[in-house]
Structure 1
């Protein structure tokens, strides 16, 4: 059965619009992840410098600041930002494989991303040995998850793209993000979204280098 020409055009327009919308989400998400990674890196450097400055003022201050800071950090994690503990990579992996929307949101969301950044910076400010690569992965996955709320079917791919983009931005190497996405986040790299994931990773890497 042949569809009327106007109807076919409408269907084609909707299909084309959806494709470009999907591409825009991945690209803009990659840029956002790169910008967040740069902000986290710069703030992390400032936090470490502030702690070193404290050491120059008093070598004994660390005996009070560090343990009290860790206690407060643990309290904030439990009360305000559950699932923001740890490196953040296991949470991103788990969120990708979950099918329940609420369960995903408990692991990757804007609130979790904000909490992860705050707790990471606070830990560094108190003298903790905290790497920013793992947190950047969870932050990246959270940002892309938030952008993909309008399309739950695309969320696994978006979480993968966000996590891989976080690696690319944290290390300033898009190739590392691509390898991470293939080896760590998924056993089966979807052919339909692989090019979009790579584009998001490259966008994040270039943003972090800019």
Structure 2
């Protein structure tokens, strides 16, 4: 599996998940369909699916346009409120993109393999977590606790670029946390998604180290 990051809007990320054996791909949260389409054409891949991490407009706002551009593409998501949805998935469901990419839906996001990667909607950010627009604090803690059970080498792909803000908060709360220098280096880069792991987050993300 090859993962291509596509920055959209001011601080959102969309992704292309590419099965290199078949050159088939899924778009994750393709808010800017033209930009994602151009990237797919550049990579020489066929878009056959759309994965929507959640229903917020900055993530699902491109679904109708994507469905019009790719009417045969399958649209996966975990809520009936997701636009253009064709396949509702629930916790633990598994589906495939091409021959080699397995995607497992969970309430905390979606995990893809052949090599381990996870997409965390607005649950987990580098050194931070999502806001309480919906759900409860105990539900967020449960989701983050689940993510902490994933293999340490699991690569973190987030829905937004918030690392400068979250790293400053983390340094204020726990300036001596392991890996803080590495985190500060990340924060200076324009694109940080895909550069940390669950193991990293368990070191420097204060929200991943809470008991309750």
Relative to the length of structure 1, the TM-score reads 0.26
Higher relative contact order (CA 8 A, sep 6+): 1
Relative to the length of structure 2, the TM-score reads 0.26
The structure that has the greater radius of gyration is 1
More helix by share: 1
More strand by share: 2
